[in-house]
Amino acid sequence: MGNQINDYSRSQALLERAKAVIPNGIPGHFNPVVQVPEGTYPCYVDRARGARFWDIDGNEYIDYMCAYGPMILGYQNEVIEEAVRKQVANADTCTLASPVMVELAEFLVELIPWAGWATFAKNGADATNMAVLIARSHTERRKIIAIDDGYHGCSPWMQALGRGGISREDHRETIRIPWNDLAALEAALEANKGEVAGLISSPYHHPAFKDNELPEADYWSGVHALLKRHDVLSICDDVRAGFRLDMAGSPNYFGYTPDLSCYCKAIANGYPIAAVVGKNALQGAAAGVFQTGSFWFSAGPMAAALACLKELQRIDGPARILQTGEKLWQGMVDIAADAGHELKVTGVASMPYLRTEHEAGISFHQALCGECTQRGLFLTSHHNLFVSVAHSEADITRSWEIFSDAIKAVNASFR
């Protein structure tokens, strides 16, 4: 297997067709405009299996984006696929809910020690919106505190000013504060006494285009002391990290207990489902919140989620992923050092953010990720990466080979 540069001619041709009938050609976070340098990334997948996918030009990739997080056990994992086949042979989207919904809720409540109930949706944004509505209903307050650069979906209250259709009015009830800053949280709570329903935050800070940051040793205990003093709820957005760090949820990994947690991404190995779990005291408020959708009771994804969580628990998936990630990224750090560069790996090794220190700034790391991708190692420069159970020793070794080749090529072009 050589380190040839990939050809994307079919991908580019299809993107041009798409632009005539789809805004941006590919909308949202898969929009190719975020993948720079231009022309170094494919646009369309043909098939996927295990830790790899093949684009429509036939190029093969070791995938460290894992579909932006949903793939955790490997594409086409037979345990998951069999569970889905069995369920949809009976019913999927139907006039009534299926028993698997109850089974999945029971399993989540058993899995997450502090959770008393669970309810389901389709996307992470559905779950975070539902959690906010529950917090507002329970407290009879409106305002929400969130972290600067924290991402919780694409609803107007969350999106940055300047994006299409978003105005200051959408942000009127959202208060932003810095991460790891207890003083800022206390000031926000004092300035808005009796008005704040909840604080929403990921368990650790994983913004785009920036180093990821872990909570300081006393951060979450300090946060919850302040929230308790002001009768404000704690909402964990565990959409991205959930079940990658700990089977009881990421708050368990960092040693705190929220009031509500939101899950999506890896919960069903790629099938569309999200979940909100909460403490018993909030079940009444949750029952009074109306949020639904045409496919929210689809049973196939629920069966996938139940099978995925059971399989991750059986094999201790989070521990395996962490071990793989620590080995993989340390090898890349060493390769970069040998090539004269510092590769910074921040966050948790299961889903870290990578950045190469260089006088050219981010353009060097963007070029490096582009060179890797063109050679079959799919990395992005703007987002945290993901490790899955399916990534093997052979994948690690091959990843190091491609990374070494790519960093030599970038060194030559940046002289």
Domain assignment present for residue 1? The answer is no
Q: How confident is the model at residue 44, as a pLDDT? A: 97
- DSSP assignment of 209-233, as one string? TS--BPPPTTHHHHHHHHHHHTT-E
Pairwise CA distance, residues 113 & 249, whole Å: 9
Pairwise CA distance, residues 59 & 71, whole Å: 20
| Cis-peptide into 113, omega within 30 deg | no
Residues 91 and 111 in one domain: yes
| Neighbouring C-beta atoms of residue 307, cutoff 10 Å | 25
Pairwise CA distance, residues 174 & 172, whole Å: 6
Q: How confident is the model at residue 252, as a pLDDT? A: 98
Residue 3's pLDDT band, with cuts at 50, 70 and 90, is low
Q: How many CA atoms lie within 13 A of 349 on its CB side?
A: 16
Residues 143 and 252 in one domain: yes
Nearest to 69 by CA among 265, 208, 249: 265
Residues 57 and 182 in one domain: no
Q: How confident is the model at residue 1, as a pLDDT? A: 40
Pairwise CA distance, residues 275 & 264, whole Å: 6
Domain assignment present for residue 2? The answer is no
Q: How far is CA 222 from the centre of its chain?
A: 26
Q: Is the pTM of this model over 0.75?
A: yes
373 lies in which domain range? 9-64+317-413
Residues 240 and 389 in one domain: no
Extract the tokens encoding 119: 């309810």
Tell me the mean pLDDT in the region 172-181: 97
Share of the chain above pLDDT 90, in %: 95
- DSSP assignment of 81-139, as one string? HHHHHHHHTT-SS-SS--HHHHHHHHHHHHHSTT--EEEEESSHHHHHHHHHHHHHHHH
Strands 143-147 and 196-201: parallel
Domain assignment present for residue 246? The answer is yes
Residues 256 and 393 in one domain: no
Residue 404's pLDDT band, with cuts at 50, 70 and 90, is very high
Residue 320's pLDDT band, with cuts at 50, 70 and 90, is very high
- Which residues, in sequence order, are CB contacts of 294 under 8 Å at separation 6+? 93
Residues 238 and 363 in one domain: no
Instruction: Report the CATH number that the domain containing residue 13 is assigned in CATH.
Output: 3.90.1150.10
What is the number of structural domains in the chain?
A: 2
Instruction: Report the CATH number that the domain containing residue 180 is assigned in CATH.
Output: 3.40.640.10
